[in-house]
Structure 1
Amino acid sequence: MRNLLTKTTVAAISLAFATEAMATEWNVSLWGKRRAFTEHVEKIAELVSEKTGGEFTLNLSYGGLSKNRENLDGISIGAFEMAQFCAGYHRDKNPSITVLELPFLGVSSLEQEVELSMAVYQHPAAVADLGRWNATLLMPSPLPQYNIVGVGDAPSTLADFEGLSVRATGGIGAAMKTVGAVPTSMSATEVRQAMDSGVVKAVSFAPHAHMSFGTIENGTWWTTNLNPGTVNCPVVVNTDALNDLSDAHRDALLGSVDEALAHYIDNYNNKTMAAWGPALDERGIARVTFSDAEIAAFKEAAAAPAAAAWLESNTAAGLPAQELYDLVTGMIANGS
Structure 2
Amino acid sequence: MKKYLGQAAVAAIAVAFAGEAVATEWNVSLWGKRRAFTEHVEKLAELVSEKTGGEFTLNISYGGLSKNTENLDGISIGAFEMAQFCAGYHRDKNPSITVLELPFLGVSSLEEERKISQALYAHPAAQADLARWNATLLMPSPLPQYNLVGVGDAPTTLADFEGMAVRATGGIGQAMEKVGAVPTSMSATEVRQALDSGVVTAVSFAPHAHMSFGTIESGKWWTTNLNPGTVNCPVVVNTDALNALTDAEREALLGSVDEALDHYIDFYNNNTMSKWGPALEERGIEQVTFSDEEIAAFREAAAGPVAAAWIEDNTARGLPAQELYDFVTGMIGQ
Q: Under a length normalisation based on structure 1, what TM-score does the superposition of the two structures give? A: 0.98
SS at match of 2:59: strand
Q: What is the SS of the residue equivalent to 1:232?
A: coil
Aligned residue in 2 for 1:215: 215
Deviation string for 1:79-108 (max 9, x for gaps)?
A: 000000000000000000000000000000
| Pair 1:186 & 2:172 matched | no
Partner of residue 30, structure 1: 30
Could you tell me which residue of structure 2 aligns to residue 95 of structure 1? 95
Please name the residue that 1:145 is paired with: 145
2:243 is the alignment partner of 1:227: no
Cα distance between partner residues in 2 of 1:260 and 1:142: 12
Q: How does 1:1-336 map to 2 (within 5 A)?
A: 1-332=1-332, 335-336=333-334
Q: Which runs of 5+ in 1 are unaligned?
A: none
SS in 1 for 2:141: coil
Give the Å deviation of 1:3.
Answer: 4.1
Shift in Å at residue 36 of structure 1? 0.5
Offset from partner CA, 1:215-255 (integer Å, 9 cap, x none): 00010000000000000000000000000011111110001
Structure 2 CA distance for aligned equivalents of residues 2 and 185 of structure 1? 69
Separation of aligned partners in 1, 2:121 and 2:131: 11
Tell me the SS of whatever aligns to 2:83.
strand
SS of the residue corresponding to residue 305 of structure 1 reads helix
State the secondary structure of the residue aligned to 2:331: helix
Counterparts of 1:16 and 1:130, CA distance in 2 = 38
Partner deviation per Cα, 1:291-327 (whole Å, 9 max, x = no partner): 1111111101100001100000000100000111011
Shift of 1:58: 0.5
Give the SS at the match of 1:61. strand
Q: 2:125 & 2:2 partners in 1: Cα distance?
A: 64
Q: Structure 2 length normalisation: TM-score?
A: 0.99
What secondary structure, in the 3-state scheme, does the structure 2 residue paired with 1:331 have?
A: coil
**Alpha-carbon distance between aligned partners in 2 of 1:153 and 1:116, rounded to the nearest angstrom:** 37
**2:78 and 2:178 mapped to 1: Cα distance?**
40
Once residues 283 and 232 of structure 1 are traced to their aligned partners in structure 2, the CA distance between those partners, rounded to angstroms, is: 29
**What amino acid is the match of 1:309?**
A
In 2, the alpha carbon distance for the partners of 1:3 and 1:204 equals 71
Q: 2:325 and 2:218 mapped to 1: Cα distance?
A: 38
Output the amino acid matched with 1:289. Answer: T
Deviation string, structure 1 residues 115-153 (Cα, Å, up to 9, x no partner): 111111111111110000000000000000000000011
**2 CA distance for matches of 1:327 and 1:12?**
57
Q: Tell me the CA shift for residue 187 of structure 1.
A: 1.2
The separation in 2 between residues aligned to 1:219 and 1:196, in whole angstroms, is 9
Q: Note the alpha carbon deviations across 1:138-189, whole angstroms, 9 max, x for none.
A: 0000000000000011011111111111000000001011111111111101
Paired letter, 2:92: D
Q: CA deviation at 1:199?
A: 0.4
**What SS does the corresponding residue of 1:116 show, helix, strand or coil?**
helix
Q: Distance in 2 between matches of 1:215 and 1:2?
A: 69
1:10-66, CA deviations, whole angstroms, 9 ceiling, x for partnerless residues?
321221122112100000001001111000011000111111111111110000000
